[in-house]
Amino acid sequence: MTLSLPSRPSPSRRRLLRSAFGVVCAAAAVAARPASADPLRTWPIRIRGHELAVELADTPEARRAGLMFRRSLDEHRGMLFTYDTPGLHAMWMKNTLIPLSVAFVDAEARIINIEDMEPQTETAHAARAPASWSLEVNRGWFRRRGIRPGDRIEGLDALPLNR
């Protein structure tokens, strides 16, 4: 019995095979990654010249989940909670693993009050006046930048609405 070996593929055929192999490997890598929740939209804001990219918690589901179960938060990121109507909204830290500060913000985009919050507690931290937004960042972020009640947040007037 004779065995015939296939001829060596042409350079163009080899490139095609390498491309197909790369696509298969990339698809396998994506399929092997654990599933995660859809990321929230982000929006740029600025406070006293300091920029933040904030995730928009602008649905009831996103507001309920907040930053729960996250192990870290980048120094220049935060989460902005939007409310359908201004009110004396409150935050707590149930199932939240990282220490946070929250700023309650009025309809004019001015900070009403800032509260520091401890991880995994159910202590309510509330706005001292009707708030249209709450902004959560790493604990101490506002203090380290000299940001205080009365300071204005730029970029809230152009937020995309998800209502």
pLDDT above 80 for 25: no
pTM: 0.75
Model confidence pLDDT, tens digit, residues 68-101? 999 999 999 999 999 999 999 999 999 999 999 9
Show the domains of the chain with their CATH numbers. Answer: 42-158 (2.60.120.1140)
Euclidean distance between CA atoms 105 and 84, whole angstroms: 13
* Percent of the chain with pLDDT strictly greater than 70: 74
Hey, how many other C-beta atoms are within 10 angstroms of the C-beta on 87? 13
Q: What is the CA radius of gyration of the chain?
A: 24
| Three-state helix/strand/coil letters over 119-157 | CCCCCCEECCCCEEEEEEEECCHHHHCCCCCCCEEECHH
Mean pLDDT of 119-134: 97
Euclidean distance between CA atoms 49 and 57, whole angstroms: 23
Mean pLDDT of 99-127: 97
Euclidean distance between CA atoms 128 and 112, whole angstroms: 7
pLDDT above 90 for 3: no
Length reported for the chain:
163
Mean pLDDT of 5-23: 55
pLDDT above 50 for 14: yes
